[in-house]
Amino acid sequence: MYRKVTLGRMATFLLPSLKLKQRGSNGETIEEAVHQFLVSKFKGYTAASGNIFGFWKDENGVESYGEHKEYKVAFVGKEMIPELEFFLSQIADSIQEDCIYFETGEDSLLIYPFKA
């Protein structure tokens, strides 16, 4: 006999690995800020690094390249999605990233920096 517990939906996002060691205004690294947020709001996460890279073209057709760390979180219901999107928009702003790649369910999106 075994037991299983559903963790709900999954969201995946990529952050530029070279920028994760940058420090925010409070002195903690971006990586530490992401860790604290994901553990406090989602009770955990999975991260993968290594040979994760991508190529893409912007609206002007300019090709870019980036190396990333992948994060995955699970959650029940859709209520947590906007909070995670808002957090990622703040991260994009703090590391001066044009946008962050984000997947949830069947959707793939780009999260742009938060602008007050």
What digits encode the pLDDT tens for the residues 55-70?
989 888 999 999 999 9
Enclosing H/E stretch for 90: helix 80-94
The angle subtended at Cα 69 by Cα 66 and Cα 72, nearest 5°, is 130
Rounded Cα distance between 18 and 89, Å, is 18
Query: Mean pLDDT, to the nearest integer, of 83-93?
Result: 95
Q: Look at the pTM and tell me if it is higher than 0.85.
A: yes
* pLDDT at 25 > cutoff 90: no
Q: Which domains does the chain have, with CATH numbers?
A: 9-111 (3.30.70.120)
